[in-house]
Amino acid sequence: MTTTAQHELTTDIQARPDGCIRVVLCGRLDAQTAVGCWNLLEPKLGAVKIKVLEVDAGGLQFCDGAGLALLRYLNMRKMTPSATVSVLGLEPELEKLFLGFTFDDYEAFRSTAGAKRHSLPEEIGESVSLAAADLREQVAFLGNIVASLPPTLIDRKRMRWPEVRRVFELAGANAVPIVSLISVLVGVIIAFESAQPLAQFGAQIYVANMIGLVMVRELGPLLAAILLAGRSGSAFAAEIGTMKVNEELNALETLGLDPMRFLVVQRITAGILLTPLLTFYATFMGVLGGVLITLSLGFPLTLVFHQLTSSVHLSDVALGGAKGIVFGAIVSAVGCLRGLQTQQGPSAVGISTTRAVVTSILLIVIADAVFSILFFLLKK
Amino acid sequence: MSVSQETIITVRDLKIGYAEKVVLQNVNFQVRRGEVLVILGGSGCGKSTLLKNLIGLYTPLAGQVWIEEGNFIAAKDSERLQMLRKFGVMYQSGALFGSMTVLENVRLALDEFTALPEPVKELVALAKLKLVGLGAAARRMPSELSGGMQKRAAIARAMALDPRILFLDEPSAGLDPVTSAGLDLLIKELAHHFGITFVIVTHELASIYNIADRVIMLDARTQTVIAEGKPAELRDNAPDPWVRRFFNREPDSASAVHPN
């Protein structure tokens, strides 16, 4: 016979000669004392083969959900698989609670299937079919834009120009500080990093040529587009996604207003108009950063300016602007598409914004590659 | 178990609001152990704000909230954590964690705050789910549950550590009458059999008559408690005509469509 007193629970294990074990619990069986009780009972009861286990709970003054769960665990013969187990002496109130969850309930839970696991081929197949469906949706969306853009643009009332202006301000004007900072820094970094290897060949002055070409043709448009994707593409997706979750899109449709014409066209128009401007601005700031470094290397401004104008042609500037238009269309269209695709649930809007940014950047890079090839072919 | 005379929550001279805007002031009331107290009031009178102050999400501008022997507002972090364990909260939307199954939602507090062995924790959580009638939904994700089921799952989660007090924000909002009545029954059973104290914010009149031992009524004009008592008494005998109108569902003014 072992008696152990914990905080306010005494656990008394009595072994009878006929192989019956009696566990007498007195006091308070709660989430704290149940732990000690478990630690005491498990090694003792698990070690020997027991035919009959009686748990006397008559002395319990308090028993909470955790205590009852422990009693139920014992009663389900989980600790003593070979024994018949009975729990005796519970107060009527507790007895009612105790009977509220039985072995049958536990078995019913065990038999319910958990989340289905897919095999690797299944998962690959599923993601391929999802990607294909997504591509189809993107193409359909593109068609939809092409179909709804011109008629909305000519219809002044439907176009809602104030909304375009609002988006223009949010996505364009408000982005100026961050675009300035990042572009100047990128210009500075590129000029600084390239000045050192070029110095070995005495070609430091060509830093100006390089920074001009790189910023105008590549980095200006890319920086503007990537910042736009991060700042505004995600915002479009979140805005439209929240509207979808709140059933505002349904409300629009039942009012007879097509979300494409009411929300999407305005954002795409603003995106197409503002991105070339943002691109030129980013280019200018990047070149400015590079020029600052070349000046600090000791070259006079006139020389740097000459190098810049001799290396950068109007076609390069046009290319940068064209990229800006296309990237702007991509970012705003993808943001709207992902917003419209938002599912239900608390994480849906978050997923949409992430997808908007990822898809935008992916498509921007692909479009950039296409531009490079086209430009190369055109120049030949 | 019936309502005892022992006071479990005491609210003293509570003044709540947001920075410059006072929403309610001079709020005084007590809740007894095992009682179902309903906080009532028109839309925008500060019911939910009061609840958020009681459970410590907002800090009151002035006043005290005593939960059992401790002043919750002035409690230090360590005491506060202990006091938080004395109550559970069900939010209006259920606020189940969407990335976990229903069972994991209920188990979370047990995993974090107790040293119970795994199978016992599972049994505790399953028993709570059975209690709210969701035994079969244990492995499902919250998004797969209906609104009523989510609320019941949220009650099960709030009860995981057997708190003495449950705060419920709009338990029957958006539920059909049958589901809502089921929830009322659950609240009554939990209060009467297990002596759990309930503080409930709602405007569902049918449910108030069913469950409330006592109501306190807030008013946006006077910014304080304007009536306190049993719902049927207030309906018939409240001195303030607005309170009687509230209980009798009478409109504030004549119909706009038929002004006469």
User: Which pLDDT score is estimated for A341?
Assistant: 93
**Does the distance separating the beta carbons of B98 and A347 come in below 8 Å?**
yes
Sign of CA dihedral A287, A288, A293, A298: positive
Instruction: Spell out the residues 6+ positions from residue A306 whose beta carbon is closer than 8 angstroms to its own.
Output: none
Which A positions 44-83 lie with beta carbon below 8 A of chain B? Answer: 64-66, 68-70, 72-73, 78
Give the pLDDT confidence score for residue A232 in this predicted structure: 93
Low-confidence ranges of chain A (pLDDT < 50): 1-2
- Provide the 3-class DSSP secondary structure of residue A94: helix
What number of C-beta contacts closer than 8 Å exist between A and B?
86
Angle A177-A179-A181 from CA coordinates, rounded to 5°? 70
pLDDT reported for residue A287: 95
Neighboring chain A residues of B117 at a CB cutoff of 8 Å:
35, 38, 42
Q: Specify the 3-state DSSP secondary structure of B169.
A: strand
* Contact in structure between A266 and A163 (CB atoms under 8 Å): yes
**Side-by-side strand order, sheet with B70-71:** B21-32, B7-18, B62-67, B70-71
Q: What value of ipTM does the predicted structure carry? A: 0.79
Strand partners, B27: B14
CB pair distance less than 8 Å for B117 and A35: yes
**Residue appearing with tokens 């001195």:** B239
pTM reported for the whole predicted model:
0.72
- Is residue B13 a contact partner of residue B65, using CB atoms and an 8 Å limit? no
- Asked if B230 has any chain A CB less than 8 Å from its own CB, the reply is no
Task: Give CA separation, A82 vs A9, A22, A52, A85, B127, in Å.
Answer: 27, 15, 8, 9, 25
**Residue in B115, B121, B162 nearest the CB of A64:** B162
**Cβ <8 Å between B114 and A38:** no
- Tens of pLDDT, residue by residue over A178-235, are 999 999 999 999 999 999 999 999 888 999 999 999 999 999 999 999 999 999 999 9
Cα–Cα distance between A187 and A129 in angstroms, integer? 42
DSSP state of B88: E
B168-202 per-position pLDDT tens digit: 998 887 778 887 888 888 888 888 877 889 999 98
Query: Which sign does the torsion angle of CA B92, B93, B98, B103 carry?
Result: positive
How is residue A306 written in tokens?
Answer: 């000459």
DSSP A347-380: THHHHHHHHHHHHHHHHHHHHHHHHHHHHHHHH-
Contact (CB<8Å) A345/B124: no
pLDDT of chain B, 260 residues: tens digit per residue: 566 778 889 999 989 888 778 888 888 999 998 899 999 888 888 888 899 888 888 888 888 888 888 888 888 888 888 888 888 898 888 888 888 899 999 999 888 888 899 989 999 999 989 888 888 888 888 888 888 888 889 989 988 888 889 999 988 877 788 878 888 888 888 888 778 899 999 888 888 888 899 999 888 888 888 888 888 888 888 888 888 888 888 877 655 566 55
